[in-house]
Amino acid sequence: MDVGLMQMQRRLAEYTSALFKEGILDSQYVQLQELQDESNPDFVVEVVSLFFTDSEKLLNDLSRDLAQQNVDFKRVDAHVHQLKGSSSSIGAERVKNACIVFRNFCQEKNIPGCLRCLQQIKQEFLLVKSKLETLFKLEQQVVAAGGSIPTSGSLPTVQQPIL
């Protein structure tokens, strides 16, 4: 086998497992990967891109809503709910957690808290975006070199004792 390909694959595996270990991605991402097959080769990329576009729009809406004189917490909550749903669907764990915290502040109608959380979410979002883009680039390289992306889950389910 091509040494370069092996090296690339190893690097990809390391990168992926690092993402999981740092908690940026969780097992849901693995599920998405499993859905990718010959009939749907770019499934993951499509879904993730959709996530990026959606989330950016949501984040802009949130910034605008929180800057208002009278903050409409219902709207804000609805946006955060959407964001939470999307991030959990693709497995962006940290973004999802930040959304949960945001919602708590929202319920308390704590504007400074909300603003802080929004910052946090933005940071996490940017982080996951850049990481995933790097990941996709690596994958493209591997595919271009003729290899295949390992799809068996990077995070094994814990071996539960038999029943």
**Given the rule CB under 8 A, which residues bind other proteins?**
10, 13, 17, 27-28, 31-32, 34-35, 37, 39-40, 43, 46-47, 50-51, 54, 77-78, 81-82, 85-90, 150, 152, 154-156, 158-163
Looking at the Cβ atoms of 32 and 59, the one nearer to other proteins is: 32
In the complex with other proteins, which residue's Cβ is closer, 50 or 144?
Answer: 50
Contact 19, 138 (CB under 8 A): no
Q: Residue 29's closest CA among 88, 94, 83?
A: 88
C-beta closer to other proteins: residue 89 or 116: 89
Report which of 94, 96, 72, 67 is spatially closest to residue 84, judged by C-alpha positions: 96
The structure tokens listed for 156 are: 């094994």
Least distance to other proteins from the beta carbon of 20, Å?
9
Min separation Cβ 158 and other proteins, Å: 5
CA distance readout (Å), 103 to 36, 84, 99, 114: 33, 9, 6, 8
Nearest distance in Å: CB 139, other proteins: 17
- If the CB atoms of residues 1 and 112 are measured against other proteins, the closer one turns out to be 1
Q: How far is the CB of 156 from other proteins (least distance, A)?
A: 4
What is the H or E stretch that residue 50 is in?
Answer: helix 43-66
Q: Pick the closest to residue 54 from 33, 85, 20 (CA basis).
A: 85
Please identify, using beta-carbon distances, which residue of 51 and 105 lies nearer to other proteins. 51
- To other proteins, the closest distance from the beta carbon of 87 in angstroms equals 8
**112 φψ region: left (φ > 0), alpha (ψ -120 to 50), beta (else):** alpha
Q: How many residues does the chain have?
A: 163
